[in-house]
Structure 1
Amino acid sequence: MDWRKQVATALDGRHPGLGHRVELGLHALILYSALSMGIETLPGLPGWAGTVLAASEIVVVAVFTVEYALRLATAPAPGAYARSFFGIVDLLAIAPFYLGLVFAGIGIDLRAVRALRLLRLVRLLKLARYNSAIDRLISAWRAVKEEIVVFGVAAVIVLYVCALVIDQFEHDAQPARPSGNATGAAV
């Protein structure tokens, strides 16, 4: 078996020796990445914790970048892989890090770019690659998607009607709504 086949089977978790370990390692990195993103939001984090989280983010991005490059290198049609669902997920999992570097280098206000860090949560979708239950869920969705859409629309309509009914019966018990001033303009 050539190196491309070896790497591809290891990344897909089918390699007899490495497959399971690579799969578990990638799962662990995905979960760690999601947890560390939550930890970053805690107020009053000590400086060393921020440093550790930033360094670990670099390691996680490096691993996922290597994984993405290897998947492109071992794909029978790299362009098709790059445009596939998992190819896009893999790219979105690393893109915020690199976009942050690019925007920081050209002096753009990073407050707006920080929102791109939420795309790191896309890494959780990478877990779907390794779960055969997702395949069954996708085929079930295809079989009943019209019914689910109809149910969703009906649920939204019922929720809206119930909200209107509750407002109608309980509006007197609610605090006074803001009213206009003497000129009729809102305060």
Structure 2
Amino acid sequence: MNIHRAAPDTLGKPLAGWRLRLYTIIFEADTRAGRLFDQWLIAVILLSVVAVIVDSVQGMGTRYHLWFTVLEWVFTVAFTLEYLARLACVRHPMRYALSFFGVIDLLALLPTYIALLVPEVHALIDVRVLRLLRVFRVFKLTAYVSEYQSLGRALAASRRKILVFLSAVLMIVLVMGTLMYVVEGPAHGFTSIPTSVYWAITTMTTVGFGDITPKTDLGRLISSAMMLLGWGTLAVPTGIVTAEMTARRAVEPLPTTRTCHECLTEGHLPEARYCLHCGAHLSAYLHETTR
């Protein structure tokens, strides 16, 4: 397979020297330094979120306002340096800035700076918790990472079956909700078909808030059938996804955090030479060797 690499000006500056070392530490967790970096990053994220949560408790925020303010700015400066380091060590800073994690990183910074002008925005700092998605690749829990990726691929492969199943469920709740609207009527809380459909959904999913309940014998019979049907309904999507995961588990390789320098796609095999997403040439696999 011939893969023609683009000119250097279209790919950005090649990673070498301190940029390559920084890239390996920040974006890959298969080395000791990379794993420690991610562990410390998650610890700081957790502490920052805990500080925001405790600050919202009545009395605590007023009593320790100065401490919370200092902590928040320490966390914000740390996240700002980390964000700038990520932009500095990738070939395409704008591509990373517009990626999912790049947007999350930016959202983790903006609330504190915007809070200087609009104090009400301070509560948005909790968006940092989204960055904890990186926890799946930090502690080298390979089993959890592989199962997470297997679940994603199984869901993607089962999407048509799941959509057909959901459409069948929607038809059932629509019919049963309409039937309950006719049987019970507005006098018993079923004031409209949408309200009755809401009751049918909560009943079929075995949630049953109890804000709307049937009063007639026929309505209770229909409600009992809906609850029993709900038990069987919950097992269908689970079986679909489980079957897909079982079929794929035997052939799926163990993932790594090896990342493409061009498109930032990770999970390449140790022996891979080209990116599975964009086709770019992969650099040598840097990882911690085991004795």
- One fold, TM greater than 0.5? yes
Structure 1 residue 63 corresponds to structure 2 residue 68: no
RMSD: 3.1
Map of 2:109 onto structure 1 = 94
Contact preservation (8 Å) 2:55, 2:61: no
Map of 1:144 onto structure 2 = 158
* Equivalent-residue separation in structure 2 for 1:92 and 1:165 (angstroms): 38
Structure 1 residue 169 corresponds to structure 2 residue 215: yes
Work out which of the residue numbers 1, 9, 19 in structure 2 matches 1:4: 19
> Which amino acid in 1 is paired with 2:96?
Y
> How many Å apart are 1:19 and its aligned residue?
1.8
> How many Å apart are 1:67 and its aligned residue?
0.7
* Count of equivalent residues: 160
With normalisation by structure 1, the TM-score equals: 0.70
Map of 2:134 onto structure 1 = 129
Map of 2:199 onto structure 1 = 160
* Equivalent-residue separation in structure 1 for 2:135 and 2:94 (angstroms): 22
Cα distance change on mapping 1:90 and 1:52 into 2, 3 Å? same
Amino-acid identity (%): 30
* Equivalent-residue separation in structure 2 for 1:135 and 1:93 (angstroms): 26
**1:65-95: CA deviation from partner (whole Å, max 9, x where unpaired):** 1111111111111111011000001001111
| Unpaired segments ≥5 residues, structure 2 | 1-15, 138-144, 174-196, 217-291
* Equivalent-residue separation in structure 2 for 1:76 and 1:11 (angstroms): 14
> Which amino acid in 2 is paired with 1:123?
R
Contact preservation (8 Å) 1:86, 1:129: no
Task: State the structure with more CA Rg.
Answer: 2
Structure 1 residue 18 corresponds to structure 2 residue 36: no
Cα distance change on mapping 1:20 and 1:47 into 2, 3 Å? same
> How many Å apart are 1:41 and its aligned residue?
1.4
Q: Which has the higher helix share?
A: 1
With normalisation by structure 2, the TM-score equals: 0.47
| Unpaired segments ≥5 residues, structure 1 | 105-109, 171-187
**1:105-156: CA deviation from partner (whole Å, max 9, x where unpaired):** xxxxx4xxx2x3343222122121341435444434423345556666748x
* Equivalent-residue separation in structure 2 for 1:67 and 1:57 (angstroms): 15
